[in-house]
A and B are shown apart, each in its own frame.
Chain A
Amino acid sequence: MKRSRFWSWLWIGLGILYFFIPLLATLNFSLRMKKDVISLMAYEKVLADPGFVKSFTFSAEMAFFTILASMILIVPTAYWVHLRLPQAKPIVEFITLLPFVIPAIVLVFGLIRIFSRPPFVLTASPALLVAGYVVLSFPYMYRAVDNGLRAMDVRSLTEAAQSLGAGWGTILLKVIFPNLKVALLSGTFLTFAIVIGELTLASLLAWPALGPYMALLGQNRAYEPAALAIMSFALTWGMIGLIQVFTRGTSGTALGGMK
């Protein structure tokens, strides 16, 4: 018993070291901009750079529209699949997992090929970038919504609302969406975290997003990219922390998402 526990802790320890040593090294490096002094100079420089603010704002806007479009697309789809087309579930799940199989570079070249010539010339529009991000967020958003729907009795709730006179719009807005709150928050935070650091789509579609900005900074500077890496980690962890906060302390069948 003791022997097996020792090995468990050893492997956990090694895993933690493997993960945290590079992070600590990056953190340490990001604080060494001033010679022989620990300082936040690299962070100050990054935050003072108008390029950073501009690219971060742009990415945040794109994340907002991506989340909105994902919800509008995925919630009714997942709801309908649960309610009326359970046999289509494996197909929809397969489609939503495609971004894990098809690299973003393949997706972006496909988008450019199709949408750079009539009848759909969209390469100059941020809508194409949002559309690409929606695809990338599929696995996270769909899974979160699917978990949320699994946790409630979709059919009975729908039928109860119908028998009380509600139409589809009312059912979605007053019954389904509110009961998916936690699931949607999980999906939202994950999507935000993905979009905010995304490089391939933004770079090849030539948009001034945070990902390309970080990549550019990495080519020209030493300390600032390390500071940016730490900041983006903090942002992602902050999002995951928020998911935990919202998921904890809630109970009942209405809850889903990151369970």
Chain B
Amino acid sequence: MAFLEINNVNKRFGQFVAVEDFNLKVERGEFVSFLGPSGCGKTTTLRMVAGFEMPTEGEILINGADVTHKPPNQRNVGMVFQSYALFPNMTVADNIGFGLKVARKGKDEIAKVVDEMLALIHMESFRQRYPYQMSGGQQQRVALARALAIHPQVLLLDEPLSALDAKIRVELRTEIRAIQQKLGITTIYVTHDQEEALSLSDRIVVMKDGHIEQVGSPFQIYNFPETPFVASFVGTLNVVDAVVRDPQSGALTVDGQEIQTAQPLSVSAGQTVRIAVRPEMLRMTANSGSGGTNELSGTVDTVTFLGSIVRVQVRLEKSKLFFDMFNNPHLVPPQVGEKLTVYFPREACLVV
């Protein structure tokens, strides 16, 4: 039996369906991210696990116990909020010790746990500070320590890094993952940032319009998207229209140029389909993969310098493709207007 089970959960607000037929099993110690755009139901699902929302239908089990109708203060679930939600009237130490004080633990035990937590987040010297005396990143680390101090069964994080600047976000997400692995705590992480989900998670649940689109490891989600939505939402894609020439062999034409997919197509000849190719699969040199290489020729439309990478956009006839080149001082990027052929393996061709 999984440690956390969400079975057939539905949540409706009046006529609006926020979460539909949600099923998920999370193993003990697993880090699972709910990824999706705003309004996809990821936070609502998390709030149902926390007990802040009641499912309209379905059940939630933690460690075999049905907690579906238990109030949040009886679930032993730690929560970290986007807005930190530290108690402004309390010091860092009081914030971290709050849950233990509520549980009527002894002073010595509280002091010991607070010390441990402060060491865990490397903020020993901040114990007497008030929230307003700290930066956003520091506050969020304290919020994490506060949630962990009660030794929760499950740790829930609701877009905890969204309010922070980019550099702190990357630092803190590494720290969150390290702490989670060190403590082996079962974690659910809500985010709309694919990079966060891909870098942190054991598994990702991609959601759209209240339902699950795909559940899988970051590798599976990125490389083998099962739905057009997952393909377009996770990572960046070149999407172009192609006309099916021979479904059996997977032959297609893009702006009159022939390419081939690795798999046969399930549509008839003459139909138009949309194919997607990840930009990192495009090369300027032919490098035949095991399944053969496709090539498309066009004219360089734009060359954009983005610091660590240079983004090149190639115009075919109607379609456009872009790919990135890693920057280095000796790089000679193609010139605008130059004729260019790009190559990509057949298996990189996703029909969406």
Contact = CB atoms under 8 A, between A and B. Distances in A.
Interface of A: 152-153, 156-157, 159-167, 170, 174-175, 178-179, 181, 251-254
Interface string B98-126: 11001100000000000000000000000
Given A152-B88, A159-B79, A251-B132, A164 B50 contact: no
B88 A164 contact: no
B99 A159 contact: no
Interface string B123-159: 0000000111000000000010011001000001000
Nearest to B130: A252
A164 B89 contact: no
B41 interface: no
Interface stretch (B2-10, B69-77, B192-200): B69-77
Closest 5 CB pairs of A and B: A164-B99, A252-B132, A254-B88, A156-B85, A160-B85
B83 interface: yes
Contacts of B86: 160
26 contacts: A153-B85, A156-B83, A156-B85, A157-B85, A157-B87, A159-B79, A160-B81, A160-B87, A162-B72, A163-B51, A163-B77, A163-B78, A163-B147, A163-B156, A165-B103, A166-B98, A166-B99, A174-B87, A174-B98, A175-B87, A175-B89, A178-B89, A179-B87, A181-B89, A252-B130, A254-B88
A50 B85 CA distance: 53
B83 A153 contact: yes
Nearest to B52: A159
Contact of A164 (B98, B130, B156): B98
A15 B147 CA distance: 56
B87 A166 contact: no
Contacts of A252: 88, 130-132
B89 A163 contact: no
A93 to B, nearest CB: 25
A165 to B, nearest CB: 4
A165 B99 contact: yes
Given A156-B81, A251-B132, A162 B87 contact: no
A153 to B, nearest CB: 5
A162 B71 contact: yes
Contacts of A170: 102
Classify chain B's interface size: 20 to 34
A33 B60 CA distance: 81
Contacts of B98: 161, 164, 166, 174
Interface string B266-304: 000000000000000000000000000000000000000
Contacts of B72: 159, 162-163
Contacts of A160: 79, 81, 85-87, 143, 146
A179 B150 contact: no
Nearest to A163: B79
B102 A165 contact: yes
A102 to B, nearest CB: 37
B343 to A, nearest CB: 51
A82 B228 CA distance: 41
Contacts of A152: 88
Centre residue among B74, B77, B85, B131 by max chain A CB count within 10 A: B85
B344 to A, nearest CB: 47
A163 B85 CA distance: 11
Contact of A159 (B50, B130, B132): B50
A188 B276 CA distance: 66
B80 to A, nearest CB: 9
Given A163-B72, A165-B102, A167-B73, A254 B89 contact: yes
A252 B85 CA distance: 13
Nearest to B79: A163
Nearest to A151: B88
Contacts of A166: 73, 98-99, 102
Contacts of B83: 153, 156
A167 B74 CA distance: 9
Contacts of A163: 50-51, 72-73, 75, 77-79, 147, 156
Given A174-B98, A254-B89, 20 more contacts: A153-B85, A156-B81, A159-B50, A159-B85, A160-B81, A160-B85, A163-B50, A163-B51, A163-B75, A163-B77, A163-B78, A163-B147, A164-B150, A178-B89, A179-B87, A179-B88, A181-B89, A252-B131, A252-B132, A253-B88
A254 B85 CA distance: 11
A181 B90 CA distance: 13
